[in-house]
Structure 1
Amino acid sequence: MSTAVLPTAAGTGPLTGTGTLLRLALRRDRLLIPLWLLGIGGLLAAGPPGLAALYSTATERAQAATSMSGNSSLRALYGPVLGDSLGALVVWRYGVVAAVLTAVLSLLLVVRHTRDEEESGRQEMLSAAVVGRRAPLTAALLTAVTANLAVALVATAALAGEGLRGALAHGLALGATGLLFAAVAATTAQLTGNARLARGLAAAVLGAAFVARAGGDAARDDGSSPLSWASPLGWAQNIRPFAGERWWVLALYAAATLALAGLAHTLAARRDLGAGLLPARPGAPEGRLATPAALAWRLQRGTLLGWTLAFAPAAVLFGSLADGAAALLGDDASTREILHRLGGEQALTDAFLAAMTGVFGLLAALYAVAAVLRLHAEETGHRAEPLLGHPVGRLRWAAGHLLTALAGPAALLATAACGLALGHGRGLPALLLACLVQLPAVWVLAAAAFTLYAVRPRAAPAGWALVTLCLLIGWVGPVLDLPARAMDLSPFTHVPKLPGPDPHWPPVAVLVAVAAGLLVLGLARLRARDLTT
C-alpha cells in the first residue's frame, strides 16, 4: 500500500494544484471529450429532420404520440411521450440514450483521473509535488463539469431550432445527469482500489437507474411513477423539455450531486493513496493460471459476465415487442419503410427482429473493442513486461486476449438469441443464426482496434471512434436515408438481414477475411515494435 507524500511548502492548502491538474486532465482528454460530444450532438441533431420526414404534419405527430404513449414496452425503452411537437418526440426517442451516453462519459472521466491515476502510480509521483490532498479528486470533478457543460451547450444547439426554451431544458437535463453520475463515480472510486471495479460499481448504479426508470415508465404513461422519480434518468424526463418545462427538478440534481461529491471528498480523506475503503480480497495461496489465455480469461470474465447479464433481460424485452410491431405501426408507411431499412425487406415482424439483432451486434462490438483494448491497458500499466520476461512470447500473450475478444461476442449474441426467442416465442435456431451472423462485423471492428493498438499504442482509443461511427450509421443512417456509400462504411451494413428470405452470404466471407487480415497485420506489427515503458 502506498501512502501519499503530502506537500509541506508554506501556504499549501488542500486544493493547491487543482488548476494545474485540471489543465493536465483536459489536455489528456482533448480527443476523448470532443468525440463523445460529436456522437451525442450528432444523435440529437439527426433527430428533427429524421422524425420530420416520418411525421410531416401535426396530425401525424399527434397520432404517433398517442399510439406510442399507449405501449408500455416502448415507454420502458424510451420513456413517456409527454408532447406531440417535433422537439418533444425527439427528446422521447433519443433523450434516454443521450442521457445514458452522458452518464457513461462522466463516470469514465472521473475514474480515469482518480482511481486509474492511483493504480498506475502516477498520482503518487504528483502528490510528491506541491499538490493538495483534495486537488486530484476536485480536478477530476471539474473535468466532468467542463465536459457536461459542453454536452449541455451541444444539446441545446442541436435542438434550438425546435424552440430555445425546450432545447435549453434538455441540454441542462443531460448536463445535470452527467454531473450526478460523475459524483457517483467519484464515490465508487474511493470504495475500491481497482479502477475496473470502480467503473463497474458506477455502471451498476446507472443500470439500476435505467431499470427503475423503465419499470416506472411502463407502469404509468406520464412519468409520475415513484420508480421513475427514484431514478435520475426519470428526473431528466420529468424536466419535460418541449412539454411545459419543470425547472425545479434541476434542484434535485444539484442536491444529490453536491451530497455525493461531499461524500466522495469525505471518504477520500479517510483512506491511503492507492487503497480503497473496501477490503481487498486476498488471492489464492498458489497460482493456478498456467497459460496466457487463462490469465486473459481470468482478467476479463467478470466484464463478460456483466455484459451477459445486461444482454439477457434486454433481449427478452425486445423479443416481447416483436409481435406487436405491426399493430403498433398500423398504416404508417414511413415508419414501416424505416424499419425495413434497418431490418430488410421481409415481413414486418421479421424486419423488427432483424433490426434488433443488429442492435445487439453493435453492442457486442463495444464489448469486443473493450476486450481488445485491455492489451493496451496491460502494456501501459507495465503489467505486460514482467509477464513477457518469462517464457511467454508476445503472440501468445496477445492471442489470449484476442481469443476472449473474439469468442466473448459470440457468447453475448447467443444470449441475445435465447432472450429474443424467450420473449417472442419463436424457434431458437432461426434467431441464433440471425444473431451469430453479426459476428464477422464485430470481428472486423475488434481486429481494427487491435491493429491500431499494435501499430501505434497511443492511437488505440481510436477504436472507440470506429464503433461510434458504426453506431451512428446504424441508428441514425436509416432514419436520414443516408446514401449507400455512407452506409457501406459500417461492416454491419454488409451482413444478411436475418430472419428473412434469400440471405446473401458472400459479404460474410469477405468480412471474415478482412478481420483475419487485420489480425495478421496487427500481430506482425506487435511482434516487431518496442513495448511501452
Structure 2
Amino acid sequence: MRLALRRDRVRTPVWAFSVALLFLYAVTALDAVYPTAADRQVRAELVSSPAAIMMSGPGYGLDDYTLGALVANEFALWAMIAVAIMNVLLVVRHTRAEEETGRSELVRAGVVGRHAPATATFLLALIANALVAVLSGAVLVAAGLAAADSFALGAAVGVTGLVFAAVGLVTSQLTEHARTASGLGLAALGVAFLLRAIGDVQQTHGSWVSWLSPIGWAQQIRSFVDLRWWPLALSLALVVLLLLLASSLATRRDVGAGLFPPRAGPADAARSLRSPFALAWRQQLGSVVAWGAGIAVMAYASGTFVDSVGDMVDELTATSPEMAALFGEDDLVNGFVAVLTVFMALAVGGFAISSALRARAEETSGRAEPVLATATSRTRWLGAQLAVTVLGSVVLLVVSGLALGLGALTVGVTTPTLGEYVAAAVVYLPAVLALVGVVWVCLGWRPGLAGLAWVLFLWAFVVGIFGSLLEDLPDAARGVSPYWHVPQLPGDDLDAGSLGLLTLVALALLAVGFVGFRRRDVTST
C-alpha cells in the first residue's frame, strides 16, 4: 500500500484536482453565460432534444433550471467518465501491468499474500475517489450551491469511480496484457454510457434501461432537484460483487498469466507486416478505430444542435454579452460550429499525444530493442511511429468534420456545406502536430518528461473552450496554446501566414526530437 501511494503521490492528486477544477469551471462559466433564470430556461429547451439527452443526463429540473441542476445534468456525466477512466487505468497499472513487467513476481516472492497487490490497489482507488468526492463537493459549496446536494454529487462521482476500479480488477484477471485489460475496462465504460443514453432517450427521467448502468444510478440521485441517496447503494453493492468475482478469478490463474491464454499467431509474419510502419499501424489500429467511433458519435450528436442554436443564442445575447463573445457576433451559427470544431480538434489532440507516447511504451517494454538490433535504423523506426500518429490524426480530423456536418444535414441545415465542415476540422492539423512535437522533443532528449505534453493539452483546452470568457487573460498566455493560432472556420478568414508559422514550429520540434533520439541510449530517461 505504501509503495502504491509513493508511486501515485503526484498522479492521484492531479486527477482529483482536475475533476474539481472541471466543476469549478462549469459553475463559473455557466453562471457567466446564463446569469438569469430566463437564460437557463432557454438552455433547458436546448438540452431537451434526444441528442442532447444522450450527451448529458435524464433531465431532472428542466422545468426550473437552476445553476445546480444545470451542472448536475450536463457536467456530472463527463466528470464520472473522467473518474471512471482514472480508476481503470490506476487499477490496471498497479495490478496487471506489474505482473506483465515481472515486478509483481518479485514482490510476491516475499511474505506477501496472493491478494495483497489487488487489495492495496483497491484501497488506493478508495482514497483517490474519496479525494475526488470531497474536493468536488467543496468546490460546488464554495461556488454557493447547497452543501448536501453538492457533496451528494461529489459522492456520486466518487462511487461511480469505485465501480470501475472494481471492473478494472476483474478485467486484469482475464488477460495477460495491461493494454487489453485497460481496453476491456474502457469498453465496459462505453457500454454503461450507451445503456444510460438509450434509457434516458426512451423515457423522461430515464427508463428501465437506464437502471442497467452504474452511470444511470449516479445520475438518479437528483442532485439540486429532489435529492435521494439510495441509488448509490446499488453502486456499492455492485462493487462488492465485482470484488468477489475478481478474487475468485485470481485464484484460478497463474501469476503473470491471464484467465484466457493468448492465441498463438502464425510462425511467419505476412508481407503486409514486414516494415516498421506496418507493425506500428497494426498496433495502433484498434486505438484509431476506438477514438474515431467516439469522436464520430460526439460530433454527430453535436451537429444536430445547429438548427436550433440561432434562436437560442439570439435570445441569450440580448441579456448576456458573454455569449456573443463565445460564439462570435457576426454569424452566430458559424461561431457555434467553430466552437464545436475546436472541441473535436482538441479530442484529436488527445489521441495524438496518446499515440505519440506509444513510441516510449515500445522502448520501456523492450520491444523496440529487438527491432533496432536489425538493419532498421532509429530514424526509420521513429519515423514509422510518427507517420502512424500523423495519419491517425488526419483520419480523425476528417471523421470529426464529416460527422459534424452530417449531424447538421440530418436536421436540415445545409450551410455551411459538408466540405466546409471538413476544412474547418483539418485546418487544426498544424496545432495537433505542435502537440506531437512537444512529445517528440521530450522523447528525444528527456523521455521522462514526455507526460508534460498533457499539461499543454490541458491549457489548450482551457484557452480553446473558455478563452473568450476570460477577458483579462493576456494574448501571450493564450498564445502558448497552439490552437489559439488556428483560424476558427467557417466564420474566420483563412490566415495562411499564421498556419504556415505554426507548421514550421511543429516541424522544428519534430526535427529536434529526431536529433535527440539518434544521440541518446535506448530506454534512457
Structure-2-length-normalised TM-score? 0.92
1:472 alignment counterpart: 462
**Residues of 1 paired with 2:375 and 2:49: CA distance?**
60
Q: Deviations over 1:218-250 (max 9, x none)?
A: 3334x2322222222222211112112111111
CA RMSD of aligned residues (A): 2.0
Residue 91 of structure 1 and its aligned partner are, at CA, apart by 2.0
Distance 1:68 1:479, change over 3 A: farther
Q: Deviations over 1:239-267 (max 9, x none)?
A: 11211211111101100111111111111
Q: Which amino acid aligns with 1:151?
A: V
Aligned length: 510
Residue 48 of structure 1 and its aligned partner are, at CA, apart by 2.3
Contact 1:496–1:503, Cα closer than 8 Å, also in 2: yes
Determine if the alignment matches structure 1 residue 166 to structure 2 residue 149: yes
Determine if the alignment matches structure 1 residue 403 to structure 2 residue 387: yes
Q: Which amino acid aligns with 1:458?
A: G
Q: Deviations over 1:307-354 (max 9, x none)?
A: 122222222212222112123445111798556545545522222221
Q: Deviations over 1:94-138 (max 9, x none)?
A: 211111111111111011111111111211222222221101111
Contact 1:113–1:140, Cα closer than 8 Å, also in 2: yes
Q: Which amino acid aligns with 2:427?
A: V
2:428 alignment counterpart: 438
Residue 300 of structure 1 and its aligned partner are, at CA, apart by 0.9
Residue 409 of structure 1 and its aligned partner are, at CA, apart by 0.9
Distance 1:134 1:176, change over 3 A: same
1:529 alignment counterpart: 520
Determine if the alignment matches structure 1 residue 383 to structure 2 residue 374: no
Distance 1:421 1:69, change over 3 A: closer
Residue 481 of structure 1 and its aligned partner are, at CA, apart by 4.5
1:14 alignment counterpart: none
Residue 500 of structure 1 and its aligned partner are, at CA, apart by 2.1
2:224 alignment counterpart: 242
Distance 1:338 1:360, change over 3 A: farther
- Mapping 1:312-351, distance limit 5 Å: 312-333=296-317, 341-342=325-326, 344-351=328-335
Name the SS for the 1:247 alignment partner.
coil
2:49 alignment counterpart: 71
1:34 alignment counterpart: 13
Name the SS for the 1:454 alignment partner.
helix
Contact 2:33–2:323, Cα closer than 8 Å, also in 1: no
- Of 400-409 and 476-485, more deviation after overlay is shown by 476-485
Q: Which amino acid aligns with 1:131?
A: V
- Mapping 1:18-29, distance limit 5 Å: 22-29=1-8
**Residues of 2 paired with 1:341 and 1:204: CA distance?**
38
**Residues of 1 paired with 2:7 and 2:472: CA distance?**
34
**Residues of 2 paired with 1:206 and 1:42: CA distance?**
23
Q: Deviations over 1:390-428 (max 9, x none)?
A: 122222211111111112111011111221222212432
Determine if the alignment matches structure 1 residue 451 to structure 2 residue 441: yes
Contact 2:43–2:312, Cα closer than 8 Å, also in 1: no
Distance 1:474 1:236, change over 3 A: farther
1:176 alignment counterpart: 159
**Residues of 1 paired with 2:266 and 2:330: CA distance?**
54
Contact 2:54–2:197, Cα closer than 8 Å, also in 1: yes
Quote the sequence identity (%). 40
Distance 1:446 1:480, change over 3 A: same
Of residues 265, 270, 286, the one that matches 2:268 is 286
Distance 1:484 1:228, change over 3 A: farther
**Residues of 1 paired with 2:267 and 2:326: CA distance?**
53
- Mapping 1:337-376, distance limit 5 Å: 341-342=325-326, 344-376=328-360
Determine if the alignment matches structure 1 residue 483 to structure 2 residue 473: yes
Of residues 501, 506, 509, the one that matches 1:515 is 506
Contact 2:394–2:426, Cα closer than 8 Å, also in 1: yes
Contact 2:356–2:385, Cα closer than 8 Å, also in 1: yes
1:96 alignment counterpart: 77
Residue 57 of structure 1 and its aligned partner are, at CA, apart by 3.1
After the TM superposition, which segments of 4 or more aligned residues of structure 1 sit over 6 Å from their partners?
none
- Mapping 1:107-122, distance limit 5 Å: 107-122=88-103
Distance 1:182 1:500, change over 3 A: same
Distance 1:118 1:489, change over 3 A: same
Contact 1:39–1:468, Cα closer than 8 Å, also in 2: no
2:67 alignment counterpart: 86
Residue 468 of structure 1 and its aligned partner are, at CA, apart by 2.3
- Of 135-144 and 431-440, more deviation after overlay is shown by 135-144
Contact 1:494–1:508, Cα closer than 8 Å, also in 2: yes
Distance 1:354 1:59, change over 3 A: closer
Contact 1:346–1:501, Cα closer than 8 Å, also in 2: no
Q: Which amino acid aligns with 2:60?
A: L
Structure-1-length-normalised TM-score? 0.91
**Residues of 2 paired with 1:441 and 1:336: CA distance?**
31
Residue 276 of structure 1 and its aligned partner are, at CA, apart by 1.3
- Of 339-348 and 297-306, more deviation after overlay is shown by 339-348
Residue 47 of structure 1 and its aligned partner are, at CA, apart by 2.2
Of residues 192, 195, 199, the one that matches 2:178 is 195
**Residues of 1 paired with 2:469 and 2:223: CA distance?**
22
Determine if the alignment matches structure 1 residue 46 to structure 2 residue 25: yes
**Residues of 2 paired with 1:29 and 1:305: CA distance?**
30
Q: Deviations over 1:432-461 (max 9, x none)?
A: 101101111111111112222322122122
- Mapping 1:298-317, distance limit 5 Å: 298-317=282-301
Name the SS for the 2:18 alignment partner.
helix
**Residues of 1 paired with 2:220 and 2:4: CA distance?**
33
Provide structure 1 residue ranges, at least 5 long, that are not aligned to the other structure: 1-21
1:505 alignment counterpart: 496
Provide structure 2 residue ranges, at least 5 long, that are not aligned to the other structure: none
Name the SS for the 2:19 alignment partner.
helix
Q: Which amino acid aligns with 2:450?
A: A
**Residues of 1 paired with 2:215 and 2:472: CA distance?**
31
Residue 356 of structure 1 and its aligned partner are, at CA, apart by 1.4
Contact 1:35–1:465, Cα closer than 8 Å, also in 2: no
Determine if the alignment matches structure 1 residue 423 to structure 2 residue 413: no
Distance 1:423 1:138, change over 3 A: same
Contact 1:44–1:158, Cα closer than 8 Å, also in 2: yes
Residue 280 of structure 1 and its aligned partner are, at CA, apart by 1.4
